Every structure is written in structure tokens, then in C-alpha cells.
Chains A and B, each alone.
Chain A
Amino acid sequence: DAKTTQPPSMDCAEGRAANLPCNHSTISGNEYVYWYRQIHSQGPQYIIHGLKNNETNEMASLIITEDRKSSTLILPHATLRDTAVYYCIVRSYGQNFVFGPGTRLSVLP
């Protein structure tokens, strides 16, 4: 079973920040938080990952709480092309990825 809990769906206005929450209250010290997204009928796309520090790349920012029990993926200026299912996964080195149902983000014009 997936070790994360995400809301099933969210809406966001185009041009605004999309903040996608993820709960991983049972995360262990050596487990990373990964985010992927899947646009309709395509393979999952890697977005970002982190261990305990906040991370930023050209796609998104990842904010991990100090106790590491939850995190937030931030898309700073959402566009219609960001409409997708977003998956939050926790795993340690050598473990397989276990995907949950994810959050379906709809970016609205």
C-alpha cells in the first residue's frame, strides 16, 4: 500500500500558485519524498524529490515540514498544461515506487 495520503482532486486558477499537499506521517528517516505527474494517456513525469530540505527546480518547489510528516508541492504559476494527476511517493534507496491514486489537479482558465 502507498505510504502517502493525498486529496483526490483540486482546482486551481490559471496563473495562480497550485499547492498540492501530501501526508506521509509514517515516513522513516531514510525515505525520500518524490513527486511525479501524469498527463492524460502519457507516462508519469518526474517533477522533484527531497529528503528533508526544501527543494526547487525549474518545474516546482517542494516544501517538507520539519517533522517530515507532510509536504507540499508548489507549482508557482499554474498553466492549463499543468492539468494532470500528481503522485506523491515516499521511498528509500532500493525500494520500489508504490503509487497511490494521486491528486487530480484541474487548472481552470
Chain B
Amino acid sequence: DTGVSQDPRHKITKRGQNVTFRCDPISEHNRLYWYRQTLGQGPEFLTYFQNEAQLEKSRLLSDRFSAERPKGSFSTLEIQRTEQGDSAMYLCASSLVGDQETQYFGPGTRLLVL
């Protein structure tokens, strides 16, 4: 399967702990996006990369959140000092610049903060 993959698929953690999620985009895609989705809502944009450069961050991305894409391939999203309000599905998507930027999504990582 050559789609977007995310790891882990599920994460349960205690409040105050740090968590890190990984996203592997479609191999030739140069843009990578992170979204957050809470129950009953559509996905909300967090940030995106073009190659290794982080080009935009949403105001939703508090200073406890950090994302990296060090070699322009996979990306990680870290949440420090998790809070119960961070419980959500974290989605990754990738696209190819110039292909009208159709985004293809991964299966998501579901985070539960106790």
C-alpha cells in the first residue's frame, strides 16, 4: 500500500505526559499537512510543510505542539504536557505541488488523554 501511513493508530496517555506521532506521506509528495479532528466536527488545519520547511501554522497550534519534517520525508508531531482537551484524532495528509494540490489523508492517530 503506497498511501499515507500514521503511527501509532491509537494512543492513551496520562495528563502531563509527552506524546509523539509519526506520519509517512506518499513518497513523491512534497507537501505534508497535520489536522486535528474532535468528535462531530470536521478536520481543523494545524500546520503544513513543503519539503522540510514549515510554511504555515494555525493559531490552534499552541506552544505545547511542535512539528518537524527533518529530511522532507516523514514528519512528527509532538505534544508536550498533554491536557484532556488534546484528546482528538490527529490526521496527516500529503499532496504534490502542481497537481491542484489534492490532499490524500492517512488513517489518523486517535489520542485519549486521561
Residues of A within 8 A of B (CB): 2, 32, 34, 36, 41-46, 49, 85, 87, 93-94, 96-102
Give A100 to B56 CA distance when docked, in angstroms: 20
When the two chains form their complex, are residues B42 and A32 in contact, meaning their CB atoms are under 8 A apart? no
Give A42 to B101 CA distance when docked, in angstroms: 21
Given A43-B105, A43-B108, A44-B105, A93:B100 Cβ within 8 A = yes
Which residue in B40, B41, B43, B56 is a CB contact (below 8 Å) of A44? Answer: B43
Closest chain-B Cβ to A105's Cβ sits at a distance in Å of: 15
**Residue B45, interface by CB 8 Å:** yes
* Chain B residue contacts of A102, Cβ below 8 A: 42
CB-CB nearest in chain A for B47: A96
CB-CB nearest in chain B for A96: B45
Interface residues on B, range: 20 to 34
When the two chains form their complex, are residues B40 and A101 in contact, meaning their CB atoms are under 8 A apart? yes
CB-CB nearest in chain B for A97: B103
**Residue B104, interface by CB 8 Å:** yes
Closest chain-A Cβ to B97's Cβ sits at a distance in Å of: 9
When the two chains form their complex, are residues B107 and A101 in contact, meaning their CB atoms are under 8 A apart? no
CB-CB nearest in chain B for A85: B42
* Chain B residue contacts of A101, Cβ below 8 A: 40-42
Give A49 to B101 CA distance when docked, in angstroms: 11
Give A43 to B89 CA distance when docked, in angstroms: 9
When the two chains form their complex, are residues A96 and B42 in contact, meaning their CB atoms are under 8 A apart? no
Which residue in A41, A46, A94, A99 is a CB contact (below 8 Å) of B42? Answer: A99
* Chain A residue contacts of B104, Cβ below 8 A: 46
Give A98 to B41 CA distance when docked, in angstroms: 11
Which residue in A34, A44, A87 is a CB contact (below 8 Å) of B91? Answer: A44
When the two chains form their complex, are residues B45 and A97 in contact, meaning their CB atoms are under 8 A apart? yes
* Chain A residue contacts of B93, Cβ below 8 A: 43-44
